[in-house]
């Protein structure tokens, strides 16, 4: 029966993350296009050709199969990313390598090698500003050592400005005493006592579940694109060795560990610890890389999004749900409704999340109508159509500038469909004809906006 090993997940953040649009709180700009926070998951399948220091090696094989020279392994990734991102905003995309069955044999048909010194390299997309990367460690990985993410240069040396994100244990990469390579400064720096393995202790025949990584980047100018990609020459021509066959710069490398004989075989002494390097090529002799060496998805960068937007409601039978947050990720407004709704993204906002909503279309709520009937902002509860009329209203926030301004839209039974909070920042609310009541506590009076 297979044992299970899971690597952590790493997340990439660009202005959007799995349904979240992050805004930086910049000066107000009029909306220039429709936008949506829809996140799409793409399943990218590709083949890898893997070289071994002791013969060609197919690391991902059905259990019980035997070693066969020059084999190619099927692999792939899933990438979850927003369909679009506003210019200058941060977004998150998540790359999850497919789980695989580990080959039971090493290249000389020795049973039961462990895999150690793994690295998995992901390129930082061109044209973005890197923010951070996070591993998702939500399940037991069965790892020896703490998996981390290191930003490195093409030489594998840690570099705060490096173009590569590396999942590994302390940047320890493959390399034997007789073949001290590995594309990293720690290829031979770690304890080489094989009874104290560092890395993944993957038993023979294990089903390996790799971690996902969530990456946050800031998009560039409108009209450009963000293209997440694994390490390859397509990501950067300067990294031309990364997808050549049998190079330590390959995006996925590891070392087999089955005893204490490092390096190549000699006479009757079989090597047990071999470097393995996998490139995104259909065969070892392929002249080009496949989908694993190309952009995994393309995210168009669109125009500004600050302003007011309206949705027709939910896309299915459930409710349309949304949340606005400030730049510190504190909730400013939260709503859930089966009906159409209007939301205003303020310059002070830091994020907006939308789930199961039809696309949000820019709308113009007009200017302040100082002659219109105001809604009391302090300790007020009124019935829509009786004590106040539907429409859009603006409050300057807290009535005294210190305590919170709290408001909520409610149905006729008093159930809240939309609520928000503010202190010094202005707040805009659109009361729908389908609302039953509106409540405001600690706010300055609400002034109508002309439609």
Domain boundary residue, one of 267, 293, 319: 293
Please determine, for residue 226, whether its predicted confidence score (pLDDT) is greater than 90. yes
- The verdict on 114 and 196 lying in the same domain is yes
Res 4: pLDDT: 39
Quote the distance between the C-alpha of residue 308 and its chain's center: 27
The vertex-210 CA angle with 204 and 212, nearest 5°, equals 175
- The verdict on 160 and 135 lying in the same domain is yes
- The verdict on 441 and 310 lying in the same domain is no
Instruction: Classify the phi-psi angles of 179: left when phi > 0, otherwise alpha if psi is within -120 to 50, otherwise beta.
Output: beta
Please determine, for residue 113, whether its predicted confidence score (pLDDT) is greater than 70. no
Mean pLDDT of all residues in 278-301: 93
330 belongs to a structural domain: yes
Q: Which of 55-64, 196-205, 269-278 has the highest mean pLDDT?
A: 269-278
78 belongs to a structural domain: yes
Spatial CB neighbours of 200, under 8 Å, sequence gap ≥ 6 = 5, 7, 114, 115, 116, 118, 141, 142, 143, 144, 208, 254
Please determine, for residue 142, whether its predicted confidence score (pLDDT) is greater than 70. no
Question: Is the distance from CB of 184 to CB of 172 less than 8 angstroms?
Answer: yes
- The verdict on 191 and 153 lying in the same domain is yes
Res 125: pLDDT: 96
17 belongs to a structural domain: yes
pLDDT band, residue 294 (cuts 50/70/90): very high
Res 248: pLDDT: 94
pLDDT band, residue 257 (cuts 50/70/90): confident
- The verdict on 313 and 426 lying in the same domain is no
pLDDT digits (tens, 9 = 90+) for 388-431: 999 999 998 888 878 889 999 999 899 999 999 987 778 899 99
The span from the CA of 185 to the CA of 36, in Å, is 44
Listed in order, strand segments (DSSP E) in 338-404 are 341-345, 349-355, 361-363, 380-383, 391-395
What percentage of the chain exceeds 70 in pLDDT?
Answer: 73
Res 13: pLDDT: 33
- The verdict on 244 and 352 lying in the same domain is no
Q: Which of 52-61, 219-228, 250-259, 386-395 is the least confident region?
A: 52-61
The span from the CA of 368 to the CA of 448, in Å, is 6
Average pLDDT, the chain: 79
Mean pLDDT of all residues in 274-289: 90
371 belongs to a structural domain: no
- The verdict on 67 and 204 lying in the same domain is yes
Q: Which of 112, 114, 148, 116 is nearest to 133 (CA)?
A: 148
- The verdict on 280 and 314 lying in the same domain is no
| φ and ψ of 363, to 5 deg | -135, 155
Res 68: pLDDT: 44
* β-pair partners for 42: 79
299 belongs to a structural domain: no
- The verdict on 245 and 139 lying in the same domain is yes
Q: Which of 300, 320, 325, 336 is nearest to 418 (CA)?
A: 336
The span from the CA of 92 to the CA of 270, in Å, is 46
Please determine, for residue 384, whether its predicted confidence score (pLDDT) is greater than 90. yes
- The verdict on 332 and 272 lying in the same domain is no
The residue range of the domain holding 408 is 380-448
- The verdict on 76 and 124 lying in the same domain is yes
Please determine, for residue 372, whether its predicted confidence score (pLDDT) is greater than 50. yes
Domain count, the chain: 3
Per the model's pLDDT, the better-predicted residue between 10 and 291 turns out to be 291
Res 386: pLDDT: 95
Global confidence as pTM: 0.65
Res 106: pLDDT: 52
Please determine, for residue 342, whether its predicted confidence score (pLDDT) is greater than 50. yes
Q: Which of 141-145, 161-165, 211-215 is the least confident region?
A: 141-145
- The verdict on 206 and 322 lying in the same domain is no
431 belongs to a structural domain: yes
Assigned token pair, 335: 């709503």
What percentage of the chain exceeds 90 in pLDDT?
Answer: 38
Please determine, for residue 273, whether its predicted confidence score (pLDDT) is greater than 80. no
pLDDT digits (tens, 9 = 90+) for 3-24: 334 444 444 332 333 233 433 3
Per the model's pLDDT, the better-predicted residue between 162 and 192 turns out to be 162
Res 220: pLDDT: 87
| φ and ψ of 226, to 5 deg | -110, 125
């Amino acid at each position: 029966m297979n044992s299970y090993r899971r690597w952590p997940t790493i997340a990439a953040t660009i202005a959007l993350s799995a349904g979240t649009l992050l805004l930086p709180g910049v000066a107000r700009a009029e909306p220039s296009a429709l936008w949506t926070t829809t996140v799409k998951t793409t399943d990218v399948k590709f083949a890898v050709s893997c070289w071994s220091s002791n013969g060609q090696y197919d690391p991902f094989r059905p259990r019980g199969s035997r070693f066969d020279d020059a084999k190619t392994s099927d692999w792939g990734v899933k990438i979850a990313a927003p369909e679009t991102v506003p210019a200058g905003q941060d977004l998150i995309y998540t790359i999850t390598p497919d789980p695989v069955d580990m080959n039971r044999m090493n290249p000389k048909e020795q049973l039961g090698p462990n895999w150690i010194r793994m690295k998995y390299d992901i390129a930082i997309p061109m044209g973005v500003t890197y923010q951070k990367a996070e591993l998702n460690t939500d399940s037991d990985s069965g790892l020896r050592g703490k998996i981390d993410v290191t930003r490195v240069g093409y030489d594998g040396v840690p570099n705060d400005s490096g173009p590569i994100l590396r999942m590994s244990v302390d940047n320890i990469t493959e390399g034997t005493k007789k073949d001290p390579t590995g594309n990293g400064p720690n290829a031979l720096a770690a304890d080489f006592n094989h009874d104290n393995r560092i890395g993944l202790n993957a038993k023979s025949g294990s089903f390996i579940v790799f971690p996902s990584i969530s990456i946050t980047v800031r998009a560039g100018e409108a009209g450009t694109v963000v293209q997440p990609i694994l390490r390859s020459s397509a990501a950067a021509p300067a990294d031309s060795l990364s997808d050549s066959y049998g190079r330590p710069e390959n995006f996925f490398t590891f070392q087999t560990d089955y005893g204490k004989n490092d390096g190549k075989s000699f006479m009757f002494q079989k090597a047990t610890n071999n470097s393995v390097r996998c490139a995104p090529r259909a065969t070892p002799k392929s002249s080009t890389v496949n989908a694993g060496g190309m952009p995994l998805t393309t995210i168009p960068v669109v125009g500004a999004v600050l302003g007011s937007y309206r949705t027709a409601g939910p896309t299915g039978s459930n409710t349309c749900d949304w949340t606005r947050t400030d730049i510190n990720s504190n909730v400013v407004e939260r709503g859930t409704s089966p009906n159409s709704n209007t939301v205003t993204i303020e310059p002070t906002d830091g994020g907006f999340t939308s789930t199961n909503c039809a696309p949000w279309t820019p709308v113009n709520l007009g200017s302040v109508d100082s002659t219109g009937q105001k809604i009391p902002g302090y300790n007020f509860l009124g019935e829509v159509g009786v004590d106040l009329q539907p429409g859009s209203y603006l409050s300057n926030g807290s009535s005294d500038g210190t305590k919170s301004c709290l408001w909520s839209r409610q149905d006729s039974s008093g159930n809240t469909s939309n609520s928000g909070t503010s202190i010094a920042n202005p707040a805009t609310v659109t009361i729908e004809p389908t609302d039953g009541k509106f409540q405001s506590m600690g706010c300055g009076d609400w002034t109508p906006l002309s439609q």
